[in-house]
Amino acid sequence: MPLRPWSPIPIQDDGEPLLDLPAGLWRLDPHPYQALGAPYGEGVSPFRLRRGVIERLERAQALLRQRRPEWRLAIFDAWRPIAVQAFMVRHAFAEACRLRGLDPRGTGPAHRAVAAEVDRFWAPPSSDPATPPPHSTGAAVDLTLADAQGQPLAMGGAIDAIGPIAEPGYYAAAPAGSEAAAWHGRRLLLAEVMAGAGFAQHPNEWWHFSHGDQLWAWRRSEPRALYGRVDGAVAAGGGA
């Protein structure tokens, strides 16, 4: 798999621990990858992030409440160890093959095209400390908007969707007053409050934001990333 444009950016990890998300940040349960059997390990929670990232998420939630007091951020996924990244890349490839009527065990041109498409959305499960997948650093979060009861709002495409519908501006040309225009407005609002708290958005995914990893450094022209890969064994705060 090719390197990302942010892969050459150096990492100088500041040593911040992973912490459990506080109760004030809404989690979407059951966790989707745990429900698939992803290998997190017993008692290990995916709902953890670096301390500074959590503080910025809380700031983003406050910004959202200023504009839409009845809405909240809803966390879909956060920290992801390498073993889970590898599991989910395989799962995404198999699902994409299934939707196209392909046997995922194949290796022909159609399978290579599927693999290239999956690679646009799922980072390689690199074990090289110089090129960690964003979620393995505790700096990246997948999230959406939800109502006061925690019910996710329609955003015009599911989290982890593969294809153009995942792109943040997919509905930008939607006619005013249409349902698609409402989806675009919600995507814009999410991006604005996250940017206001210091996050950078993945260029291909309306739901993926990070602070302090290589992708963030690339998008903000920072000279270095603040966070590298972090293992659950050295995390603080335990599981949930």
What angle separates helix 179-196 from helix 51-67, to the nearest 10 degrees? Answer: 130
Question: In degrees rounded to 5, what are phi and psi of residue 103?
Answer: -80, 120
Angle CA(59)–CA(76)–CA(37) in degrees, nearest 5?
145
| CB burial of residue 77 (10 Å; 0-12, 13-18, 19+) | buried
| CA–CA gap between residue 148 and residue 73 (Å, rounded) | 10
Of 16, 95, 205, 222, the active-site residue reads 205
- Annotated active-site residue 205? The verdict is yes
**Token pair of 40 as six digits:** 């997190």
Of 173, 171, 162, 154, nearest to 204 by C-alpha is 162
Q: Which residues are catalytically annotated?
A: 205
